[in-house]
Chain A
Amino acid sequence: MVLETKGLGFQYAGGQAFRFPDLQCGPGEQKLVLGQSGKGKTTLLHLIGGLLRPQQGQIMLAGADVTALNDRALDLHRGKHVGIVFQTAHFVNALSVLDNLSLPAFLTGAKYDTTRAMELLDQLNLSSKAHRKPSALSVGEQQRVAIARAVINGPALLLADEPTSALDDHNAEQVIRLLKNYAAETQAGLIIVTHDQRLKSEIHQMVAL
């Protein structure tokens, strides 16, 4: 198993309490987590990705109990084993597209492979924009680069938070294809949280919140 959660619960200070169904995801498995806004989709994704710490329950990720890791170890563990794609793509705006792709390797101390980065950009038809600043790219292009950045470290688990909801049908289709293909190629688990109904036809394993 890449991911296994047990009895996860989380409550924001003075806010709503969430209890989440247990979730498992094996290598190459692809799951959709569906739910209306306010059901805690993003909270669940942040718990799994280690951006938030749960008040109850346990998260086994890539062979480690992440709830037991200290902050520093958690940051590194996430960097090595999890790739995250957000609703809107963010970059270090001062760096070129190619340099942005080198960040995951740099931040986790892994070896950076420029050829691999160019290969990825090539597949996205973005190699001509490798040396441009991210802000020079269209929203769809930015989201595709964000996916390349999420997969470049070869993560065991790919998390996507509403990756398509800001995109039109054409771009949405491209993005979901990319996510599915990369996950399948590298045998990574893929979990997408969304309320975008268009994705139901693409991924068949679903968890409802």
Chain B
Amino acid sequence: MNLSKIAWSNIRYKKWNTILSVVLLAFGVGTIAMMLLLERQLSQQFERNIKDIDFVLAAKGSPLQSILSNVYHVDVPTGNIKVGDAKKIIQNTWVEEAIPLAYGDNYEKYRIVGTTAAYPALYQCQMAQGRVFDQPFDAVVGSLVAQETGLRIGSTFTSMHGYDNASDDNAHHHTKPYTVVGIYEESGSVVDRLILTPVESTWMVHDHAEETVPADTINEQEPKQPVRSMAENDKDEGLTGAEVMQRMAEMGARPTIGGRRKPNDDKEMTAYLIRKRNRGAFGFLAKMTENTTMQLANVAVESNRLMNNFGVGLGTLKAIAYVISLISFLSIFISLYNSLKERQYELALLRTMGGTRWTLSRLILLEGLWIVGIGCVLGFFLSRGGTYLLSRLSEDTFRYPLQVWQVQWMDMLLFGLTLCVGIMASLLPAVKAMKMDISKTLSNA
């Protein structure tokens, strides 16, 4: 026999009181722990993905959507912009670097993004295997993509039309296959869940270049088209075999080719990620997009807005969780306090058998600790289970894998604090047990 066993028996004996206290505490602490985890991981993800990107140049639309789609890849883009139009802005002294993004297809819901080597370099992506992409239809896959789809070096795959939903109404397969030439190491950034390829691949896929190969047609004949997304571009004819050759020759050509209209000027890009050269760039560049179909979105501003929106939701949930936790402490306190009256004879009895005042107060404290301890353990698993569930549920929409089992000092602090408050809730009942007049109690028996 020991005191903690007696305490355990006692809380089991009043099982409904105990279950109420434990469940309340588990939900309260669990929700707080889950919010801490989500907050931490979301802000980590967000910060990692913003990196050095200052602005996003994309088609007019919601600036937030522009950021969500082009930086985080969680939303559909606002449309496409003409390379020629974009050049006027990105070939400006205010711009340090502009990274092109052209996308509209996916493979098993992972976006295929046409870009240049500057994009993976932005996130310091290291090659795990293979080499960087340099030919059209070379594909380098992110770590998560490789893990989830089983793509290996040398694998070939055909892309699916659309951004991430394979069951889109107008979804269809493109015929030209990509070849995996490399796999990135995990970078903790958005690249983990992307498939990168030269911009030309995207253009060629959407121009159906691989299908129409009439000889010596020249490139400048492409029909003018309104701003449309790559995903809607398919029906347009245009690129020829000769042009494909030329494209390949121009490989890696930044859209920084100036002056006269170049063959690529009529080509479309989904967006450019822009690094500014000096302060005040935004106002100047944004002014330049006036009266165009383009729009410059400020990453810091929109991300802040996004975090604030998330923050309100998380904050509300956290506030509710704090209230539940408080109620659970109240429940522990009331349950212990009430039990003193019911159990006054058995507590007095423990004294007559040699138990000291200190024994009784320790017993009550231990009962409180058992409840808080079980509540914390349950709460921890609840928070991780909830995060796992959320991670699975949001996988299709956001594709942000959450690290469910991550434990940080904040969690330790939370559980430590809970334990302390639990002890405080048991303290008054414990002191009351300590001060009990056993003679009086037993005379009234």
Contact = CB atoms under 8 A, between A and B. Distances in A.
B121 interface: no
A88 B348 CA distance: 13
Contacts of B439: 46, 51-52
A78 B350 CA distance: 11
Chain B interface main SS type: helix
B1 interface: yes
A107 B2 CA distance: 9
Contacts of A102: 1
A106 B445 contact: no
A154 B349 CA distance: 17
A5 interface: no
B6 A71 contact: no
Contacts of B381: none
Interface in A92-106: 92-95, 99, 102-106
Contacts of A91: 346, 349
Given A52-B439, A93-B346, A106-B2, A76 B9 contact: no
Nearest to A49: B352
Contacts of A78: 352, 354
B345 interface: yes
B111 to A, nearest CB: 60
Interface in A47-96: 49, 51-52, 71-72, 75-76, 78-80, 84, 86-88, 90-95
Given A95-B6, A103-B1, A72 B353 contact: no
A92 B354 contact: no
B275 interface: no
A74 B12 CA distance: 31
Given A46-B439, A79-B354, A80-B354, A90 B1 contact: no
A87 B444 CA distance: 11
A112 interface: yes
Contacts of B354: 75-76, 78-80, 104, 107-108
Contacts, number: 78
Interface string B132-163: 00000000000000000000000000000000
A106 B3 CA distance: 9
Chain A interface main SS type: helix
B9 A94 contact: yes
Interface string B320-351: 00000000000000000000000101101111
A51 B1 contact: no
Contact of A92 (B346, B357, B443): B346
Nearest to A95: B9
Contacts of A79: 352-355
Contacts of B345: 90
A90 B349 contact: yes
Contacts of B300: none
A45 B371 CA distance: 38
Of B2, B351, B354, the most chain A CB neighbours within 10 A belong to B354
Contacts of B358: 72
B16 interface: no
A115 to B, nearest CB: 15
B356 interface: yes
Nearest to B347: A92
B4 to A, nearest CB: 12
Contacts of B13: 93-94
A24 interface: no
A104 B348 CA distance: 13
Nearest to A76: B354
Interface string B411-445: 00000000000000000000000000011001101
B219 interface: no
B296 to A, nearest CB: 70
A110 B113 CA distance: 76
Contacts of B351: 51, 75
Given A94-B9, A94-B12, A99-B1, A46 B353 contact: no
B2 A92 contact: no
Given A51-B439, A76-B354, 7 more contacts: A51-B351, A51-B352, A71-B356, A75-B354, A79-B353, A92-B346, A94-B9
24 contacts: A42-B443, A46-B443, A51-B438, A51-B439, A51-B442, A52-B439, A71-B356, A75-B355, A76-B354, A79-B353, A87-B445, A90-B345, A90-B445, A91-B349, A92-B10, A92-B349, A92-B350, A93-B346, A94-B9, A99-B9, A103-B1, A103-B353, A107-B354, A107-B359
